[in-house]
Amino acid sequence: DAGVTQSPTHLIKTRGQQVTLRCSPKSGHDTVSWYQQALGQGPQFIFQYYEEEERQRGNFPDRFSGHQFPNYSSELNVNALLLGDSALYLCASRTRDRYGYTFGSGTRLTVV
Amino acid sequence: GENVEQHPSTLSVQEGDSAVIKCTYSDSASNYFPWYKQELGKRPQLIIDIRSNVGEKKDQRIAVTLNKTAKHFSLHITETQPEDSAVYFCAAPYSSASKIIFGSGTRLSIRP
């Protein structure tokens, strides 16, 4: 049973570029949340998707957007990249009626 | 606001001794409190969680206690071992559990 899978594992982008990160939730999970984890800090909530809609959003600018597909997989898009966007981006999934999240291994984004 | 305060930020204990990490949350409606362990370069992994209808939960050397009145919950690790060295995060749900907000983390080091 595959857990949460994320791609790519590492990515280097230039300031001003756009990036798309991908996540496939654990089998049986229908809710996906995205987190940004800067070095030495706790994961910061970006947004949550359920039934292909954004249900909750953290304190992140509109440059951060997402999507959930009918198969529950999800994408995180970041436009106009800034140096400060460099971080580990974690995808976490769960079933709607459970609280416990399973995390993916993350995508390490470096903006230069 | 939506925050979870976690203390201490770093903790060093002698192998075999106990470690305690404390967290405080602000939303009185929060009813689920997970703890995650994150080893260097790896994903956060759920190690134990507790629901608000109980005051304590144990799983071998790990226990979590909850004081809903004071909005405090704590992680207790007994008989610490070298493999317990990691960063530990507490978390609590906000906005009807649509957001899981993480604490800033505690770096636990076990001295041989």
Q: Tell me which chain A residues have a C-beta less than 8 angstroms from the C-beta of B89.
A: 42-43
Question: Is pLDDT at A80 greater than 90 in this prediction?
Answer: yes
Q: Give me the phi and psi of A103, to 5 degrees please.
A: -95, 150
CA geometry: angle at A25 spanning B87 and A61, to 5°? Answer: 70
Count the alpha carbons within 13 Å of B61 in the hemisphere toward its beta carbon.
Answer: 12
Q: Tell me which chain B residues have a C-beta less than 8 angstroms from the C-beta of A58.
A: 99
Question: Is pLDDT at B97 greater than 80 in this prediction?
Answer: no
Looking at residues B52-59, what average pLDDT do you find?
89
Residue of B nearest to A95 (CA): B98
If one compares A15 and B29, the residue with the highest pLDDT of the two is A15
Looking at residues B68-76, what average pLDDT do you find?
94
Closest C-alpha among A58, A1, A53, A16 to residue B95: A58
Closest C-alpha among B39, B49, B38 to residue A43: B38
CB pair distance less than 8 Å for B6 and A42 = yes
Question: Is pLDDT at B18 greater than 80 in this prediction?
Answer: yes
Q: Please list, in sequence order, all residues whose beta carbon lies within 8 angstroms of the beta carbon of residue B56, skipping any fewer than 6 positions away.
A: B50, B63, B64, B65, B66
pLDDT digits (tens, 9 = 90+) for A34-79: 999 999 899 999 999 999 999 989 999 999 999 999 999 999 999 9
pLDDT digits (tens, 9 = 90+) for A10-22: 999 999 999 999 9
Structure tokens at B87: 């960063």
CB pair distance less than 8 Å for A102 and B46 = yes
Looking at residues B65-91, what average pLDDT do you find?
96
CB pair distance less than 8 Å for A100 and B97 = no
On whether any CB of chain A is under 8 Å from the CB of B103, the answer is yes
Band of residue A2 on the pLDDT scale cut at 50, 70, 90: low
Write the CA distances from B98 to A13, A32, A54, A83, integer angstroms.
Answer: 31, 10, 10, 29
Nearest to A42 among B34, B43, B103 (CB): B103
